[in-house]
Structure 1
Amino acid sequence: MTHALDQLTLADIARHLDATLVGDGGQAIRGLATLKDAGPDEVAFVANRAYLKDLPSTRAAAVLLHPEHGKTCPVPRLEMENPYLGYAKLSQLFDPVPARDHPGVHPSAIVAGDVTLGAEVCIGPHAVVEAGVVLKAGVVIGSGSVVGADTTLGEGTRLHPNVTVCHGVVIGKRAILHSGCVIGGDGFGFAHDGARWHKIAQLGGVVLGDDVEVGSCSSIDRGALGDTVIGDDVKIDSQVQIAHNVRIGEHSALAGCVGIAGSTQVGRHCMLGGGVGLSGHLTICDGVQVTGMSLVTNSIHEPGVYSSGTGSMNNAQWRKNAVRFKQLDDIAKRLLRLEKRTHNP
């Protein structure tokens, strides 16, 4: 799309999304909004049935939705089998464009003399780039960020302000690292002699594939011996902890506050909900979804949806159930004895 935002029409948007347009394609569109808030020059969308109640009263210029909901739409519509994907693509057209990154090194940045700078690289104020670093074309290093020695950042990768990438890390193309994340810090490795802890040097690195995104204040630890490896197109939310030697397969997604202990392998196309915890040295196969706040202590070898824990309830009921939980083993033994008596009178 080369149109300025004030020149976009519904027909333009339909072509961009490969959506079926029902209505006036000449309508100018200025932005996106919710069904409740959209005005006569904005597009809204429906990707969740819970919001269908707002559809009859919308004032939007058009609504992006699934064809099965088209007949109840009172305004022009853009029909797609996956309206949420359409919304994702459309949002990029209306994303406010930040100030253009001007290639070059800010005078306050500290850059080692042997750093390799590709074309159009931008290094912001007070950033530090250590010896032996390779920055491929189009890399942006935000203000206050640190890139450790012998690290490679692939083409088009962006570090937002105050990101720390430690030594010996390899990051692929078009990665996005948000503020406060740390890539390649030491893994949690210690040996105990009976009286005190002795630190285990973390000798591996971290490898991030292409199109990886890491949220703010997340940590991906370097490997103890081999590398911690994050596959292509993996999306990691904020405040996620990934321990040493973890491997995550391509196209997986981790929501906020996920914690993965060391040497666990997560397959491709997996989704871990918020607060999920994975114990160490597990294998999670491809195509697994773990719902929020679940604790996984055993390997998973079949794709599907997995959960653990209990849903919330009022405190009085929870206290009663907690007492009964402690009694389960005794109840199970008593039941087994009763079954034996029943079958062997």
Structure 2
Amino acid sequence: MTVYSLAYLAEHLSARLIGDPACNISSIATLEHAVAGQISFLSNIKYRKFLSQTSAGAVLIKADDAAFVAPGVNALVVVDPYVAFARVAQLLDNTPHSATGIHPTAVIDDTAVLGTDVAIGANAVISAGVVLGDGVQIGAGCFVGEGASIGKGSLLWANVTLYHKVQLGQRCIVHSGAVLGSDGFGFANDRGNWLKIPQTGTVVVGDDTEIGANTTIDRGAIEDTRIGNNVIIDNLCQIAHNVQIGDHCALAGATIVAGSTKIGRYCIFGGGAVVNGHIEICDGVQITGMSMVMKPITEKGVYSSGIPAVSNVEWRKNTAKLRQIDQLYQRVKQLEQQLAKVQHAQQDEHHIED
């Protein structure tokens, strides 16, 4: 079990320590349920009441919250408690490796190049010309296609598939069931018959990017599909061929991005968002959940189109009214035309009187 003193954590986080520097921390917990030896945090003011009740060994707080901490509870004062919590969680992380050593059932082509301390799990397949950087972990049942490369320190959980020539950067994490480099949806219609267009590009993923379980990223049709550095992609997302996603973007679960779309940096997409193909989205855009982006976005900001849930009765009423929109539009249009005629007639009368 990994244990850190509060003195060490304070130095690691550049935090101001209030309390016992020798107090040891071995795990994390919520304010409500933490006990001695555990550390928690407060980042949302609505949970401030738990500061006076918690039994945690220590709490991560902002300076403004120091007066609310229970007597005898140590505190680390930081600028952003949630970020500090993430850094402590990394230190205390006890997640097992996806693989240890080279399993005897792994199939590794003689032309593959393996760095130092590479681990490959049971029944994994490493194809010809693959390059694995130092410290790479390949989980059980993974497939890494011909000519693919995986950067230093990256990790594939069980049953991940990397097609041929896919390039994965350093310190990336790819979760189970993800598929990188499958064919994009490219077909030509010849008088009713679909003709497949070979997808000759690949997928290029930057450093420090995480890809969720059962997410699919298609290879480019001619040029490459590109995912930037420090991009986080949740489970069950679909990224189509030739998409470009800039650095530091976040895509929540079930987001779909159609082909040849270019997304800038620092963009955030809520769950279930859908993005049309062949459009461009600038830096700093936020798309709320269940929204559909149909055209380019050129100014950063928050955009929405999803319909929030309401009671069934209210939804039925609104739906009935929605069906009448065209009729209401036509009526308003007729009224505007009639009003224009009246105004025109009045102007003529005034002109005659003058």
TM-score in same-fold range (> 0.5): yes
1:273 and 2:270 are equivalent in the alignment: yes
Partner of 1:83: 81
Report the more deviating stretch, 108-117 or 65-74.
Answer: 65-74
Q: Deviations over 1:105-154 (max 9, x none)?
A: 32211111211122222222111111111112222211110000011111
Q: What is the correspondence of 1:1-345 to structure 2 with a 5 Å cutoff?
A: 5-6=2-3, 8-74=4-70, 75-98=73-96, 102-103=100-101, 105-339=102-336, 341-342=338-339, 344-345=342-343
Q: 1: distance between equivalents of 2:85 and 2:2?
A: 16
TM superposition shift of 1:100? 9.1
| Residues in 2 aligned to 1:296 and 1:225: alpha-carbon distance in whole angstroms | 25
Runs of 4+ off more than 6 Å: none
- State the SS of the aligned residue for 1:305: strand
Match for 2:48: what amino acid?
A: L
Shift of 1:314: 0.7
Alignment check: 8 A CA contact 2:206 2:227 kept:
yes
Q: Which residue of 1 aligns with 2:347?
A: none
Q: Offset of 1:101 from its aligned partner?
A: 5.2
- Percent pairwise identity: 46
The residue matched to 2:223 in structure 1 has which SS? coil
Root mean square deviation, CA, Å: 1.8
2:288–2:306 Cα contact (<8 Å) kept: no
TM-score, reference length from structure 2: 0.91
Q: Shift of the alpha carbon at 1:19?
A: 1.5
Q: Which secondary structure does the structure 1 equivalent of 2:323 belong to?
A: helix
Specify the code of the residue in structure 1 equivalent to 2:193: R
1:137 & 1:87 partners in 2: Cα distance? 28
Q: TM-score, normalised by structure 1?
A: 0.93
Decide whether the 8 Å contact of 2:51 with 2:69 is kept in 1.
Answer: yes
Amino acid at match of 1:302: E
What secondary structure does 1:5 align onto? coil
- Structure 2: distance between partners of 1:158 and 1:286: 29
Deviation digits for residues 48-82 of structure 1 (CA, Å, limit 9, x no counterpart): 23322323221112211222222222233222221
Counterpart Cα distance in 1 of 2:27 and 2:223: 47
The answer to which of 273-282 and 39-48 deviates more is 39-48
Secondary structure in structure 2 of the residue aligned to 1:224: coil
**Stretch of structure 1 that moved more, 212-221 or 13-22:** 13-22
Q: How many residues align?
A: 340
Structure 1 stretches of 5 or more lacking a match? none
Cα deviation digits, residues 198-255 of structure 1 (max 9, x gap)? 2221111110111111111100000111100001111111111100000000111111
Q: How many angstroms does 1:309 deviate by? A: 2.0
Q: Which moved more, 1:70-79 or 1:281-290?
A: 70-79
C-alpha spacing 1:98/1:330, structure 2 compared with 1 (3 Å): same
